[in-house]
Amino acid sequence: MTHPAWEPALAALPECWRAALGPAFAMPLMDALAAFLQAERAAGKAIYPPEPLVFAALRHTPLARVKAVILGQDPYHRPGQAMGLSFSVPVGVRIPPSLRNIHRELAADCGLPAPDHGCLTRWADQGVLLLNTALTVEEGKAGSHARAGWHGFTDAVLRAVDARPDPVAFLLWGGHARQRAKLLTGTRHRLLESDHPSPLAAAQAARSASPFAGSRPFSRANDFLRAQGRDPVDWRL
């Protein structure tokens, strides 16, 4: 049975996600996660993103329309940044360093001008699932909810995408995302792995076998989709 705390979120999802994730919402770990989040908020802690946006990635990108997945670690942990879409910030919010590096790679890869904002909603609405492995975080504490139980749920999301017959490009950036590759068993998909787009990873790129800069994830994803008879992503922002 689904915990009452999750019932509104489940009801707000597209039907294809409700059918695929109903059992995941009913997992015992989701009961414990609901209790954890309620206790954290009751203690006065700021949790991001705001509660109505926790499952925004699933609402923007129905399972039946997923053509690519960009997997992040957890939401931004500063006020006003997190919007429930991995790597994305609302228009008007300062663009975080990792996202600036994503913009640079987009320009180098596809010849597109770097946008003056960090909102990636346009990608999500085209079928790019912007998923984090943990869907919440405490203010100022990156990774603080990594062990709260979210991984069991987001692994179920990845398995649901993997199980679909439609070919999907998975963009796995950084060690945390690349660990999820073992969940993706469908041979019809394409896994595009590289280092994380963070400045820290960029500083170590000379010693890396798979740096983010120059990895051309956007054009490679589209080449794969076209080869599989699927419409490419319009990466313009």
H helices of 13-169, in order, are 15-25, 28-42, 56-60, 97-110, 121-126, 150-163
Residue showing tokens 């996600």: 17
First and final C-alpha spacing in the chain: 41
d(C-alpha 83, C-alpha 17), whole Å: 19
Q: What is the rounded distance in angstroms from the CA atom of residue 28 to the CA atom of residue 2? A: 9
Beta strands 47-48 and 137-138, pairing class: antiparallel
**What are the residue numbers of the active site?**
74
* Residue 92: partners with Cβ closer than 8 Å, 6 or more residues away: 117
Rounded distance between C-alpha atoms, residue 143 and residue 89, angstroms: 18
- Residue among 91, 97, 92 at smallest CA distance from 76: 97
φ, ψ of residue 64 in degrees (nearest 5): -65, -15
Burial of 63 (0-12, 13-18, 19+ CB in 10 A): buried
- Cα gap 172→177, rounded to integer Å: 5
